[in-house]
Amino acid sequence: MNNASSLTDEDLELLRRPLHGILTTAAGPLPPQSRPVWFEATAEGTLQLFSEAGALKVRRLRRDPRASLLVVAPAPERERWVAVAGRTTIETEGAHDLAARLAARYWDLDAPDRAADIAAMGEAPDLVRVVLRPESVRRYRM
C-alpha cells in the first residue's frame, strides 16, 4: 500500500474507468456513512460527483466536509484500489453538466428506458456538485 497527497497517472487510469465509487462521509460521533456514487476525476486533480442538495450525504458534508472515496477494480481483475480522503466543497454551478457527462459514462444513452431517467436529471432544480480535494491518497495494486 502506498500513501501520497495527490493522484498519480496510474490512479487516474483506474479513476477514469466507469466504476462506482464508495463515498464515505464523516459523521462526528455517529458511524461514518457510505454510499455508492458516480464520480469524475478532473484535470485539476480533484474528484467530483453530483447529488440532490437535500440528500443525506450533502447535509452531512455541509456539517463536516471530510470525506473519502474508494474505487475498486472489478473481479476478475487483480486486486487494485484507490482511496482518496480530503475535504469537500458543495458547488451550485456545474452539477447538471456533470450529471450529463456521468450519465453518458455509466449508461447506454441509446437505451430507451434511460430517456426518462436522463430527462429527470436534467430537470432537477436542486442538483449540487460535490468536489473532493485529495489530502491523502492510498492505493494498492497486486
- Rounded to two decimals, the pTM is 0.89
The total number of residues shown for the chain amounts to 142
The separation between CA 53 and the C-alpha centre of its own chain, rounded to angstroms, equals 15
Mean pLDDT of all residues in 22-30: 85
Region 123-141: mean pLDDT is: 92
User: At 108, is the pLDDT very low, low, confident or very high (cuts 50, 70, 90)?
Assistant: confident
Q: Quote the cell numbers at residue 63.
A: 456539517
Tell me: pLDDT of 121 over 90: no
| Mean pLDDT computed over 60-83 | 96
121/51: higher pLDDT? 51
**Number of domains, the chain:** 1
Parent domain of 79: 2-141
- Integer Cα distance of 142 and 140 in angstroms: 7
Residue 74: is the preceding peptide bond cis (ω within 30°)?
A: no
Beta partners for residue 87, in sequence order? 66, 133
Give the pLDDT mean for 120-131: 82
Domain with 64 in it: what CATH number? 2.30.110.10
pLDDT over 90 at 110, yes or no: no
Taking 80 as the threshold, does the pLDDT of residue 115 lie above it? no
Cα(117)–Cα(50) distance, rounded to whole angstroms? 15
